[in-house]
Structure 1
Amino acid sequence: MYNKKYILKAILGVEGILLFYSGIMLALASNNEIKEMMFLAKVKPLIPIPFVFMIIAFIFNGTMFLLSISDRFMLFLIRNTFQSIIIRALMVFLSFVMINPMFAELTKLSSVNFMSPATAPGLLFPGGLLVHVLLEHWLGGIMGFGMGIYPKLFTRIKIALGSKIKK
């Protein structure tokens, strides 16, 4: 039987690996491939932000999710030190960057084929676009925003699931 305390760690680990992998794949993709992907998906963000911020958002938030598996890192985020406040502010900003292109697409969801592969982020299997949009943009953005604004929530969830966090 599985231990309940590993549930949140598994979610953070899978999300972190997925974001980090897609960030690296987006960094390796050519500009033409990214422009073609954006044209086919008809993505137009609410606030035009350079695409390099999207790559940084995926890699940074993916790394933060992987680090947040450790209880010590979560305790570091909770403290009100200069470094933890800067990291949390970056997580909030970069989470907004991740969710930004999705807000404009809420009205066009019926015209998007979610069963197509997402080539630029490296999800080449059928349904890759669904995984990319739901798990990377939405879940990654919301979790990053929540962890940046109120990191104690994730610590409380870990404690509720049975993790022993020592201060």
Structure 2
Amino acid sequence: MTTTAPTRPTLLDAITRFSRAMRASGRRFDRLETSLSRTDSALLRYLLTHGDSRAGDIATEYGIDASVVSRQVGCLVERGYVERRTDPADARAALLAITEAGRELLAEFDRKYSHYLAQRFEDWSEERIAHTAAVLDEVAAKLLHDHHDEKDS
């Protein structure tokens, strides 16, 4: 099935508005919650989900420079939420792991962020929330899938 490029007033505008809304909402939440930033939570969640990982793997997953991950990890190591271990497969490399303190902090962050979101969507049914979550997952997958990027450039 051939599709045409989205017209400006539809998908492009909706994604732009959604992106702006996410940034603004995130900043509001960050002002309320100071123990962990959403960026730190993403890194901790990656380690919780994937287990011991190299900084380069995390950088690749999020499409950011490894130096950014390294700086962020340094702060989390200092605070006791992440630990570095020697990679048994390559003694020159380090593996990162979430600590028990990191797990506890992430769980608390998730409770607070879930409450924050629940307040904003209290008038939505569970079905509508589930449907919206599924659509957003599809949109994210489409935007992250880059098989057309080089052909379209």
The TM tier, using the shorter chain, reads 0.3 to 0.5
Could you say which structure has the larger radius of gyration?
A: 2
Instruction: State the TM-score, normalizing by the size of structure 1.
Output: 0.30
Instruction: State the TM-score, normalizing by the size of structure 2.
Output: 0.32
More strand by share: 2
Report which structure shows greater RCO (CA 8 Å, sep ≥6).
1
More helix by share: 1
